[in-house]
Amino acid sequence: MPHLKTLVERHKNDPFVLIGVNTGDDEDAYREGLEKHGVSWTCAYQGPGKDAIAKLFEVTGYPTYYLIAPNGKILGKGHSGEAFDKTIQKEIDKLKSSAQ
């Protein structure tokens, strides 16, 4: 979680978004978690016992990350957020240079 906060902060002026999908927390625990970890980014909350989005992506372990390119294609998936730091930067650079 501290890493994600840093990541969002680092790219706050970039064409980048972090989107969370919560599975398995009840509403109280979820609100408390958002507060405690300073989650400012958009998160889908599925509610207890609901996991349709996680199922769609066949998530079996938590956390699971999917890195998605601006064209919607999946660039990578894995269980470590840090592992994508470099690729995120590279994709943002690519996007910025093509916009110029």
Question: What is the Cα–Cα distance from 37 to 2, expressed in whole angstroms?
Answer: 7
Please give the residues from 74 up to 93 whose contact with other proteins meets the rule CB under 8 A: 74-77, 81, 84, 88, 91-92
Residue 14: CB minimum distance to other proteins, A: 8
Half-sphere exposure of 21 (CA within 13 A, CB side): 15
CB of 2 to other proteins, least distance (A): 13
Work out which of 27, 40, 80, 82 binds other proteins, going by CB under 8 A.
Answer: 27
For other proteins, the closer of residues 9 and 22 by Cβ is 22
Could you tell me how many residues of this chain bind other proteins (CB under 8 A)? 56
Query: How far apart are alpha carbons 76 and 70 in whole angstroms?
Result: 13
* Shortest Å distance, C-beta 69 to other proteins: 7
Give yes or no for a contact between 46 and 23, defined as CB atoms under 8 angstroms apart: yes
* Closest to 22 measured CA to CA, from 8, 4, 10: 4
Q: Which of 6, 20, 38, 80 binds other proteins (CB under 8 A)?
A: 20
